[in-house]
Chains A and B, each alone.
Chain A
Amino acid sequence: METVRIAGRRYSDPDVISLCRQTGELIDPRSTIVHMARSLVGKINGFPGVPREPMERLKIIASFNGIKIQPMDMDGQNREKRDAALFPTASGWKVLYNPNRPRSRVVFTIAHEVTHTFFPSSSSGARFRSITNPESREANELERLCDLGAAELVMPLEDFQREANGQYTLTRVEHLAAQFGTSFEATTFRLASAHPGLAVAGLLRYRLTLDEERRRHKVSRQQLLFSSSLLPSAQLAEKKYRRQSLHMSSNCTDDHLIRWNKSFDRESVVYKARDYGVRRAIETLPNQSGLYGQLEAVLSPFQREEADGSFGDVLFFWQQITQ
């Protein structure tokens, strides 16, 4: 399998590689996707009559890119949970979406599918979001790029910054989400990527690392077999809030990166986000920058079934204090 490395990231998905190579030279797929999405939004905004309602606006964006949108109840078919399907037709593209999903999810999903058509190899066939193995690295890199484009399409940079009005804080997210028809989670991530200074946002899960889980499983089996612990429980690692996803402002560098799996210190305010409401404190992030900033944390409105009962999934937003 071919792998290319651009701007410190590895890509091996055929669609992504075709985008990287479309000009003959290797180009960064992230900046290309952002550029294409902004260019599309720019074309639409040049016309009078662009609706403010997010779904109506997105339908026009899709149509401008040669894509027809059609609702279809996909839950009823084979009971497979599908959000959307994108496929080529004789006259262009068509996106079938599941209207039974929350409106904010539908908007982002359609924008995600529109971004799929930016990839030169997308015409090779249909892609079903929930059919592609979401755990594979290739699927993941393509899907993340499509999420990046989707954020640009549904929350255009200038519009988002205007609406944020300088108030980059989690307490502003509900208002912004209502304006753009997006989820709390997607809007929180956009708060960071649209921030004019240094800002980082992401999702944290209270969990062990994979190695720690294996070790714990091994010990529990030994305890079951020998009725005694060969390895004292005290030596076993405990769960912590660990980085799941990460989104950074364009001014951030590799120093601001929080690597996947990295845990937050137990004193961090993220462990206090167990009640409703936003918690905040002045902290550094677990990265190389060592910069102090305002860290905000809130329980994610969407909790997985597997999420810890006491320590649910947490969204965080950090920004450098410039005063």
Chain B
Amino acid sequence: MDDRLIDLKKLGSTIRFLRHGKGWALADLADKSGVSKAYISDLENGAAGKPNIQYVFNVAVALDATLDQLLKDATAKDQRTKKRRSAEDLPPGLSDLQQELELSDDEVEMLAQVNFRGNRPKDTEGWRFVLQAIRMAGEQNRQK
């Protein structure tokens, strides 16, 4: 599996979540899995790089989980990430609006995927208008 397809932070947070659920400290999980505390810490912080599957498996077994449970969400999330474009691939003006309003990647992707009947927005102001319109529509739906 391509490591670009794994959301390492998601994998780490799943491991941490399960560990906390058992009330274990890092040292407890290290002790039960046979994997070093330092590596587990890196895993939980998404800093272990492409994970060693044997180590992740040992951690999964210690947590009474499967690799599928640990990696599934991380993989699914990243498949969405894969579709995300770089700033250069975004329509003109959208990247600037993202920086100005600190929009999330999901919001930007949603905007980039909007199908328009007629002209697409060509600048920041055009995207700001579209975003406001969508948010207003959302508010109206909630009020109803």
Contact = CB atoms under 8 A, between A and B. Distances in A.
B53 A49 contact: yes
B115 interface: no
A89 to B, nearest CB: 10
Contact of A68 (B50, B52, B53, B66): B66
A63 B54 contact: no
A63 B65 CA distance: 8
B114 interface: no
Interface in B55-110: 55-57, 60-61, 65-69, 71
Contacts of B139: none
Contacts, number: 50
A46 B2 contact: yes
Interface bracket on B:
10 to 19
A65 B68 contact: yes
Contacts of B55: 49
Interface string A77-113: 0000000000000011000000000000000000000
B66 A51 contact: no
A63 B52 contact: no
Contacts of A91: 65-66, 69
Which residue of B2, B67, B68 has the most chain A CB atoms within 10 A of its CB atom?
B67
B66 A50 contact: no
Contacts of B61: 63
A49 B49 CA distance: 13
A162 to B, nearest CB: 20
Contact of B57 (A60, A65, A66, A92): A60
A66 B54 CA distance: 15
B46 interface: no
A260 interface: no
B53 A66 contact: no
Contacts of A68: 66
Interface residues of A, number: 19
A66 B2 contact: no
B66 A67 contact: yes
Nearest to A67: B66
Contacts of A59: 57
B47 to A, nearest CB: 16
A60 B53 contact: yes
Contact of B53 (A50, A65, A92): A50
A47 B51 contact: yes
A48 B52 contact: yes
A91 B65 CA distance: 8
Given A43-B1, A63-B60, A64-B71, A48 B53 contact: yes
A299 B23 CA distance: 57
A60 B58 CA distance: 9
A44 interface: yes
Contacts of B50: 47-48
Interface in A129-178: none
A49 B54 contact: yes
Contacts of A43: 1
A44 B65 CA distance: 17
A321 B56 CA distance: 47
B52 A49 contact: yes
Given A47-B1, A59-B57, A64 B68 contact: yes
A56 B2 CA distance: 22
Contacts of A46: 1-2
Contacts of A49: 52-55
Interface of A: 43-44, 46-51, 56, 59-60, 63-68, 91-92
24 contacts: A43-B1, A46-B1, A47-B1, A47-B50, A48-B51, A48-B52, A48-B53, A49-B53, A50-B54, A51-B54, A56-B54, A59-B57, A63-B60, A63-B61, A63-B67, A64-B67, A64-B71, A65-B66, A65-B68, A66-B66, A66-B69, A91-B65, A91-B69, A92-B68
8 nearest CB pairs, A to B: A49-B52, A46-B1, A66-B68, A47-B53, A63-B67, A49-B54, A63-B66, A64-B67
